[in-house]
Amino acid sequence: MKRIGIIAKQNKPEAVTIAGQLVEWLRPRGIQVYIEEGIERAIPTNLTGPFLSGVKKEEIPSHVEMIIVLGGDGTLLSVARLVGSHEVPILGVNLGGLGFLTEITLEELYRVLERVIEGDFVADERVVLNAGVIRQGKRFAEFIVLNDAVINKGALARIIDIETTINGEYLTTFKSDGLIISTPTGSTAYNLSAGGPIVYPSLHCLIITPICSHTLTNRPIMIPDDVEVRAILKSKQQEVILTLDGQQGFVLEFGDVVEVKKAAGRILLIKSPYRHYFEVLREKLKWGER
């Protein structure tokens, strides 16, 4: 591996410092480093040179064989959207809070990097969703998400009606505060908080979870990931937002169709060789503690 990108949470001083340390560590190993422009300006001048290139964040995936992400799960989610169809492996280093996606700890970073550079690593393949908004028969907006697409009512809105179909077959009309359409990766995010199941990340499925359903018998449902889910907003004069990965928002109108299906690409997350998924669950969710 000869070309590595570094993307860090710029408003976190620790992340910027570690980015500089990484550049120093990679330099003698003959690796070309691509780093986002804002961070490059914070790198000490004695570490700059022809081996270090500052480029726009969105251009990094097209130049590199791997991306190191320094931050939390939110930072990694934003990078996943940039990677798109490039299928560049991502090494997520947890400098945030919970860290389900950024599972590499700072303590093990350089040990893991030694192995990755030599090609000794395993990457999890994660499903990515394409979420589109169709308004009056025309595709009005389109998004790529790794975790979830969420239809949510505003703070002062009443319960909303969301008519839902799967491959054109009517499922139900959810009367609720909203609806979550999640990947297995996103099962431990909003889906879990709303009472949805934890799903092993490599399973090929989608999860549909109502938020605070008015009908107590409405429960989350898991479906194959090769289907097309359509959620139609049936409520008028309500403030309703489509939120993508908790980071992008789009205001919905009466009659809008949210179309969700598996995207063509996939996201590759480099796994820690020092722990497995169930260990991460126990640690992050405090299982077994009293």
Active site residue 73: yes
Q: Which residues contact 267 (CB under 8 A, 6 or more apart)?
A: 80, 83, 87, 90, 125, 126, 128, 146, 185
How is domain 128-264 classified at the CATH fold level?
Tumour Suppressor Smad4 (2.60.200)
Q: What is the pLDDT of residues 177-232, one digit of tens each?
A: 999 999 999 999 999 999 999 999 989 999 999 999 998 889 999 999 999 999 99
Q: What is the per-residue pLDDT for 276?
A: 85
Q: Looking at residue 284, what is its pLDDT?
A: 82
Report how far Cα 204 is from the mean position of its chain's Cα atoms: 16
Please name the residues in contact with 50: beta carbons below 8 A apart, sequence gap of 6 or more: none
Cα 162 from Cα 109, distance rounded (Å): 45
Report the distance separating Cα 136 and Cα 160, nearest Å: 20
pLDDT of residue 220: 96
With a CB cutoff of 8 Å and minimum separation 6, the contacts of 133 are 139, 140, 141, 142, 242, 250, 252, 256, 257, 258, 259
Banded model confidence at residue 96, pLDDT cuts 50, 70, 90? low
pLDDT mean over 230-239: 91
Q: What is the mean pLDDT of the chain?
A: 90
Which of 73, 124, 177, 245 is flagged as catalytic? 73
**Which pLDDT belongs to residue 40?**
74
CATH class of the domain defined by 3-122+271-285: alpha beta
What are the structural domain ranges in the chain? 3-122+271-285, 128-264
pLDDT value, residue 47: 64
Indicate the DSSP class of residue 275: -
Share of the chain above pLDDT 90, in %: 62
